[in-house]
């Protein structure tokens, strides 16, 4: 297991779950998010429970100076990072034409430009050591037309597949973890309380399962991880479904 993991969007949701599960293996952590209070609280709980080193790095990744600090941390040869988890993100309503275009640009930057820059920094540091892992938290939406969210996640999947094939033989693997609907606070930040997301109960996943399966597949060097059989089946079927049907399916829920 990686000795030091840097996780973006670590203050809650899947990011916090990655932190807990990696700490349970003895990995040291660098936790990155905007909410310093939430990061400090999570770090204190992890230190008490697992006795590992936890570094807190407050950063708004949409601010160039903050992003540069995270790039610098990944690039530091004296404190090598063995695993990068690109998890930071947010959602928007599915009505692209009705959304504010500046919000859409920020959405694109956080889901594409930020992980691209961080992956670049991580690869440049990991390749000379001939070891390392990158996990990009994508989504099943990458395979189903779903406004700009699906488009961004589609880029992450395509990039991860290419990077894993290109750099995996050199000891640095890249895995796109593609969960379906998962119980976190992601939808609440969209203003949708639990039960009001428009999604049937059978489609929901547990964050612990998503992270456990994602870490397992990353350890195996897989380029794409789709947690749960039900979503693997949906992804398989989506490859044969007409695009018009996929668009209707992608319009369900929020």
Nearest-angstrom CA–CA distance, 204 and 226: 14
The active-site residue out of 149, 167, 181, 231 is 149
Angle between helices 114-126 and 147-167 (to 10 degrees): 10
Sheet of strand 54-58: strand arrangement: 54-58, 28-33, 4-8, 83-86, 132-137, 172-177, 224-225
**In what helix (H) or strand (E) does residue 57 lie, and over which residues does it extend?**
strand 54-58
Nearest-angstrom CA–CA distance, 238 and 7: 30
**Is 149 in the active site?**
yes
Q: Which residues are catalytic?
A: 149
């Amino acid at each position: 297991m990686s000795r030091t993991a840097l996780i973006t969007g670590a203050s809650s949701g899947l990011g916090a779950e990655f932190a807990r599960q990696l700490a349970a293996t003895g990995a040291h952590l660098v936790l990155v998010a905007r909410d310093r209070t939430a990061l400090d609280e999570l770090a204190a709980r992890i230190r008490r429970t697992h006795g590992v080193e936890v570094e807190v790095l407050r950063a708004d990744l949409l601010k160039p100076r903050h992003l540069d600090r995270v790039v610098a941390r990944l690039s530091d040869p004296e404190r090598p990072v063995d695993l990068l988890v690109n998890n930071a993100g947010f959602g928007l309503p599915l009505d692209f034409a009705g959304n504010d275009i500046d919000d859409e640009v920020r959405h694109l930057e956080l889901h594409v430009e930020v992980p691209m820059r961080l992956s670049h920094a991580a690869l440049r540091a990991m390749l000379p050591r001939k070891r390392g892992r990158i996990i990009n938290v994508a989504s099943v939406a990458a395979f189903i037309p779903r406004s700009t969210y699906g488009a961004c996640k589609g880029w992450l999947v395509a990039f991860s597949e290419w990077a894993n094939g290109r750099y995996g033989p050199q000891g640095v693997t890249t895995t796109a973890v593609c969960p379906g609907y998962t119980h976190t606070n992601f939808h609440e930040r969209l203003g949708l309380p639990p039960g009001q997301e428009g999604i049937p109960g059978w489609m929901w996943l547990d964050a612990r399962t998503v992270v456990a399966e994602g870490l397992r597949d990353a350890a195996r060097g897989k380029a794409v991880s789709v947690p749960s059989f039900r979503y693997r089946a949906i992804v398989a079927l989506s490859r044969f479904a007409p695009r018009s049907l996929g668009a209707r399916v992608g319009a369900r829920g929020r």
